[in-house]
Every structure is written in C-alpha cells, then in structure tokens.
Amino acid sequence: MDTIKLRKNELGSLRPEPTMNEQVLNRFWEEALKNYDDKPLQIVNHPEDTPFPHMKVSKVTYHGYDDTPIHAWYITPASGISTKKTMPCIVTFPGYSGDRGLPERYAHWVMLGYAVFAVDVRGQGGETGNLLSMDSGVVKGWVTQGITDMHRSYYMAIAMDAVRAVETASQQPGVDSDKIAVVGGSQGGGLALLAGALNAKVSAIVADIPNMCRMDYGILYSVSSLTEIAQYIKRFPEQLDHILAHLAHFDMLNLAPRIKAPVMVSVGWKDTVCMPETIYAAYNRIEANKEIRDYPFSGHEVNEYQKREAVLFLERIFNGE
C-alpha cells in the first residue's frame, strides 16, 4: 500500500474519545436554544444598489445572541422573487478576521438560481460590531473574549448568531425553507457545521477546511486563531481545565452526532491551521450522509476544484438525488 493510501487509512481510523458527555451536551444546547426561541430577530431589510443587472441585493440586519445587530447580504437573481417560485438559499460564513465582502463574491450561486444570505461574524472584518461585555482581559484577537464565562463567551455568541442567521434566511422573501444550505471555509466551515448541528432547518452543509473540530488538539498544534487561546492559557495556566470544558460545548468532535443533514467536508493534508487530525476526528463521528474531499498536497485553502465539487454536491441535494 502506498503512503497516500496509508495516510488516508490512518485519518479514516481517527476516533478520539469525545471530550464531553453527550447527554449533558444535548441538555445544555436544548436549554440554550429554547431560551432564544421567542426572542425577536428584529429583521431589517434595505435595498442595495448593485452594478450587476442580473442580481438583486438587500442589506439585512438581525439581532444575534445578545441583541448585537448582525449584518448580512440577501442576494437573489434579479427576476427570482417576481417569478413567485421559491429558491434554495445558501447561508455563508466568512473565515477568521474576514467579512461577507461584496455581493458579487457569490455570483456563482446566483447564476444557479439560488438565493444567498451572506453573514458577517461579529467584531471581525465586516460591518458588524460586538455588544458582549468584557469583565476580563483578552489575548489579541476575538476568541478569548469571555473564555471563562459561558454566558459572555465569544464562542457562545457566534454559535447563536449562526443559528439565528439560518432563521433569518428562512424568512427572506422567495426562500424555500426546505432547501437551506450552510457553507463556509475555515472559521466559516466550523460555523456551517455548528449551525447544522444546532438548527434543524439546515438541509445541507458544505464545510471546507473547518475549524472548531477537536479543539484541544488545535490549541496544542494549530498556528491560527486557537493560538490565541494557547496564549491565554500560557498566562493563566490554572484556567486550563475550565477553558477546555468550556470549549467542549462548541467542539464539533462532540456535536457531530447532532448533524442530520447531508454533509460535504474538505480537508488539506498539509494544513497547519485546521489540521486533518482535527477535521477527520469530527467527520468520523458524523452519522448523517456524508462525503469528504481529500487534498493531500493542499494547505489551508479552498481550490477551484473544491468550489465546483461544492456546487455539484448541493445540486444533488436540492434535486433530491
């Protein structure tokens, strides 16, 4: 057997033990989600000018975890809503420190006749702020905010923001609420998996090189956002166990069995940010229909080939194949 096949077998056999009891985790999320069931989304839509005649764009805000207004684009084919036919909707999340960009970033989805709901992540590179209060210091970046307090945790906030993004998308005019996909890469891929695990309205997931998988391993070895948590623990080593217990609530290693929608995951074997040992650990615990795309010679990137694979995957799901 050649080295590539050996590595594939090794990754496919990765099954580290969950870091949190499944029943305790489910009770936590059932209560957290119930607490937000009746909280108004406070959706506001404003038409936005675009130089592209075949695209219709609105700027949308909705209230996230703590009433932070989350900014998003709602994009459709220019004739989409007037046909009185509903469309599949792609809910997208950006990578760490990124933003939702300009609407034309999503032209390939619009060309397929889909709606797009493109979301900022609070406090990062987009228009969205962050109303979370801070009672303690943080390491440079965002993810250590509230790292010792579940109710003021940045991870808790972005998780509920993502859940409510799906709710908001489902209420946009022209959206087929039975055909909502969540899509993203890196941080966006992690949020896509998280939204799929926590919101039953998600009907498909594309998670490219996702983070938030096997997070304790990532804190030790990743070279990106999780290094912020490593630096925090370096300063406060007595907080290690408490922080790991906190992160377990958002770790897709633990949440993977909650996913019911079909999933496509991609992984770069040379990725030092979202390492294959983290992605496969979560992927192997997903019980829903799933597909994985391996790129043995890719790092932390989503290539054009994979972008097309995602398109073909969602076409099959939306067409009931």
Q: What is the pLDDT of residues 222-251, one digit of tens each?
A: 998 999 999 999 999 999 999 999 999 999
Nearest residue to 120 (alpha-carbon basis) of 100, 150, 144: 100
Residues placed in the known binding site for substrate: 96
State the DSSP H helix or E strand holding residue 243, giving kind and residue range, or none if neither. Answer: helix 240-248
Burial-class residue 239 by CB neighbours within 10 Å (0-12, 13-18, 19+): middle
Residues of the chain with pLDDT under 50: none
Euclidean distance between CA atoms 297 and 136, whole angstroms: 41
Number of Cβ atoms within 10 Å of the Cβ of 208: 27
- Do residues 162 and 195 lie in contact, with contact meaning Cβ atoms separated by under 8 Å? yes
Please, how many CA atoms are within 13 Å of residue 167, restricted to the half-sphere of its CB?
A: 23
* Ramachandran sector of residue 236 (left: φ over 0; alpha: ψ -120 to 50; beta: rest): beta
Euclidean distance between CA atoms 277 and 264, whole angstroms: 17
Cα-trace Rg, the chain: 19
Would you call 96 helix, strand, or coil by DSSP?
A: coil
Catalytically active residues, by annotation: 186, 271, 300
pLDDT of residue 82: 52
Kindly report whether the global pTM for this prediction surpasses the value 0.95: yes
**Which residues does residue 209 pair with via DSSP β-bridges, in sequence order?**
none
pLDDT of residue 224: 87
Read off the amino acid at residue 26: N
Which two structure tokens, joined as six digits, stand for 195?
């939204």
Which two structure tokens, joined as six digits, stand for 294?
């391996």
User: Which letter does DSSP use for residue 271 in this model?
Assistant: -
Would you call 181 helix, strand, or coil by DSSP?
A: strand
pLDDT of residue 79: 81
pLDDT of residue 81: 59
Nearest residue to 110 (alpha-carbon basis) of 162, 163, 174: 174
- Do residues 211 and 186 lie in contact, with contact meaning Cβ atoms separated by under 8 Å? yes
User: Which letter does DSSP use for residue 58 in this model?
Assistant: E
Query: Does the domain at residues 23-316 carry the CATH identifier 3.40.50.1820?
Result: yes
Euclidean distance between CA atoms 251 and 282, whole angstroms: 8
Euclidean distance between CA atoms 118 and 91, whole angstroms: 6
pLDDT of residue 84: 59
